[in-house]
Structure 1
């Protein structure tokens, strides 16, 4: 079947590169980036681009060592561990500096039994299966507050520390609380989060893509 272009009836921008450039310029003009670490600007811009909300930067909380720690880890070949398949799918593999592994273990055959035994969510149970890859990894949460809480509890119990935590669970139950726990965590692990209910897989993937490669 051959493709046929429809008759053009609407006046809209159609040049992909121009759309991209104008979008990022608009974000910089309308978002307050001034209080963020200087090296986090491009990360913030990509996150705003992913959600279309220029006030996102008002709630964005970025540890001063987050960008450097995450980029150094990825350049050294560290894996990305995530709570949601949608986050993993959103990572642009061509941007990864070392063809880094991007892993979500939510569908591992062990997860359901662990979740039942521990009376928790499958997302949280899956985080325990990260233990042998956690040391120096970049971890990203774009869905489940229970998974972020679970990781913080693992770290307090002595689990290996990741290089950086992208904590962006979304929702109305536990999301804001889990992100506050990350921001006030007693162990000094570089983090990025957005306070409140906002978050999600697209936002987490956009942060990872910006960290994977500085070039916009």
Structure 2
């Protein structure tokens, strides 16, 4: 016999995860960590996630008032609960395949990920969810350091071996509410899981 009810499967999964953690996080942060592990099946996220400047609380307050959310990939966009966001009067967008992004990237000789961040900054987005492109995160950091924007939450978890680790290290030098991972692990699925965990805490 095996579980077939999705709700029961998720409940059992979180019970198993909770029973195997060291319990090093505050309640709201713990919920984020557990969903990261639930999404990946990897307990190492407990050891490599970094919370800085009360990101969960800042994210909760921002979502409650309604906000605009940027994602760097369609995969992250697809994994985020848009029905819940609509209930909260929040917008979510991904500009990676927009005509304006292609145009800017070509004209300025930059990546589409960088161009899409430029668009979001220009439109005053408050939450940035970056799980794939280090260049997107580096570009966002440049805008923050120039004073162009001060996000209420940055989820910066690019995955990979070229620039991913370094971009997250640079983000941790910036004084904005943020959730990052140390090292090469991360990804669009992890980024979506982090935002979803905060969305579900709003209610």
TM-score by length of 1: 0.87
Moved more, 65-74 or 112-121: 112-121
SS in 2 for 1:155: helix
Is the 2:130–2:157 Cα contact (8 Å) retained in structure 1? yes
2:38 matched to 1:60? no
SS in 1 for 2:155: strand
Q: Deviations over 1:109-144 (max 9, x none)?
A: 122232233332111111000123335x11110110
The size of the alignment, in residue pairs, is 202
Query: Which of 155, 175, 186 does residue 199 from structure 1 map onto?
Result: 186
Q: Which residue of 1 aligns with 2:123?
A: 133
Is the 1:79–1:133 Cα contact (8 Å) retained in structure 2? no
Query: Which of 114, 131, 141 does residue 124 from structure 1 map onto?
Result: 114
Q: Alpha carbons of 1:66 and 1:100: their partners in 2 closer, same or farther (altered >3 Å)?
A: same
Is the 2:63–2:90 Cα contact (8 Å) retained in structure 1? yes
Is the 2:67–2:89 Cα contact (8 Å) retained in structure 1? no
Equivalent residues in 2 for 1:155-166, closer than 5 Å: 155-166=144-155
Q: Which residue of 2 aligns with 1:81?
A: 70
Moved more, 156-165 or 126-135: 126-135
Q: Which residue of 1 aligns with 2:97?
A: 107
Q: Which residue of 2 aligns with 1:169?
A: 158
- What stretches of structure 1 move > 6 A for 4+ residues in a row? none
CA displacement at 1:22 relative to structure 2: 1.1
Q: CA RMSD in A?
A: 1.7
Whole-angstrom distance in 1 between the partners of 2:164 and 2:69: 21
CA displacement at 1:94 relative to structure 2: 2.9
Whole-angstrom distance in 1 between the partners of 2:50 and 2:196: 18
CA displacement at 1:215 relative to structure 2: 7.1
The structure richer in helix per residue is 2
Structure 2's unaligned 5+ residue stretches are none
Q: Alpha carbons of 1:117 and 1:125: their partners in 2 closer, same or farther (altered >3 Å)?
A: same
Is the 1:82–1:104 Cα contact (8 Å) retained in structure 2? yes
Whole-angstrom distance in 1 between the partners of 2:23 and 2:111: 36
CA displacement at 1:160 relative to structure 2: 2.0
CA displacement at 1:72 relative to structure 2: 0.5
